[in-house]
Amino acid sequence: MKRIALVCTRYGTEVTGEEARYAKQLAEKLAQRYEIDVLTTKALDDKTWRNWYARENEIIKGVNVYRFRTEHERASNLDSYTRTYFEECQNDKRSFGVEKIWIEKYGPFAPDCIRHIIRHRQEYDVIIFVGYKNYLTVVGMPEAEGKAVLVPLIREEDPYFQFITFQKMFRMPRGFIFLTDEERILVRRSFKTQGIPCEVVGTGADIPDNVDVAAFYHKYHIRNRYIVYCGRVDESKRCDELVHYFMEYKRRNTKSNINLVLIGEVRCNIPDRQDIITVGFASDTDKFSGISGGEIFIMPQNQENVPEMLVSAMAMGVPLLVNGASDTLRRLCINSNAGLYYENFFEFEGALDRMLESEELCHAMSKNAFRYVKQNYEWDSVVEKFIQLINKAVE
């Protein structure tokens, strides 16, 4: 049996966030076929990387988890340091030394994890790094001695691509795992990695058994139909634009009783209105119950991957309304016939009207969404593609 190390910044049942959730799901699925060690930190959140977990080693659902201390939290002057270096990059003054300091400031700075990779790398057939922009991947990958597989999880073109550290790092792996073809194309174009094997695998959907829409309505005092967003409620996710579009829609459609439900940690100002319900951080039960109860799942962000929560919404038969500026999300709607897309307010208004007014249309989209996930996002097919890449990497 092959032995695999999976390196990720955070891991655990208490950890939230798409990247951490993906790493956990992936480790649990691969553990059914391989011996898996997860190498991670004791951090619970990715804003500070503050140590939270006490145990250095535990087994979670058959996965052996090693946790390493972060030696310091994310640097308080990271933003100003980054701005200054971006200015230097504009003047073509890039420096490995400056970038080394930057990645240590960014974190999670856990050098003991890197020492573990160095000491035990010969024991692993493959070392999988989840996420590209973090200390563990940047410093750990050169120590993986030709055994590295990178799952970059890139959502959109990133100004950090210009760092010479990343230009060098993206040529190191034995293989890449991408969630979408758009992510593959973006990496190929940005880092010239055409000679490195890759697989486009997508992400699987795991729906809890205890989804309860009625309980969700009751708990959050919801009395009307609603459209739902799930994820970090942040300007970087274009949630401010979503809220603005929704309020303008309600102003122009005074007879509509539709609500907007936002599920996730709130990091931007949300107006205090009866028709906008902010759930905040939610348990998996509430999260999936809230998504299942929505008339439409909305994704306002322009990104290059397909978020897990969007796949979960499709698996539960919820139609989509997405930002059409994202090639990935627009193509998903076209290929699945499970939703509509918009690129400005008037397209948002027209699409929302069409979906809310046509029960027949939404019913067809619901069936298409469920069917599409069944064909393309089942974990069995995801894992099989991973296995193909792993076998190539160890040849």
pLDDT tens-digit readout, 359-394? 999 999 999 999 998 877 777 778 888 888 878 776
Q: How many domains does the chain have?
A: 2
Same domain, 287 and 192: no
Give pLDDT, residue 132: 97
Residue 276: other Cβ atoms inside 10 A: 17
Same domain, 184 and 298: no
In angstroms, what is the C-alpha Rg of the chain?
21
- In angstroms, the Cα distances linking 24 to 30, 52, 265, 325, 387 are 10, 18, 20, 30, 17
d(CA 158, CA 146): 26
Domain residues for the domain of 103 are 3-204+378-394
Same domain, 235 and 196: no
d(CA 369, CA 311): 9
What confidence category does residue 395 fall into, taking pLDDT thresholds of 50, 70 and 90?
low
Same domain, 163 and 267: no
Question: How much is the pTM?
Answer: 0.75
Same domain, 270 and 187: no
Same domain, 285 and 190: no
Mean pLDDT of 343-354: 97
d(CA 68, CA 54): 10
Same domain, 69 and 142: yes
Q: Would you say residue 353 has pLDDT above 70?
A: yes
Same domain, 217 and 192: no
Sign of CA dihedral 91, 159, 166, 12: positive
Same domain, 137 and 182: yes
Residues paired with 184 in a beta bridge:
none
Same domain, 386 and 367: no
d(CA 346, CA 209): 38
Residues paired with 72 in a beta bridge:
109
Same domain, 62 and 123: yes
Give pLDDT, residue 274: 94
Same domain, 325 and 365: yes
β strands within 54-102, DSSP E = 57-60, 63-68
CATH of the domain at 141: 3.40.50.2000
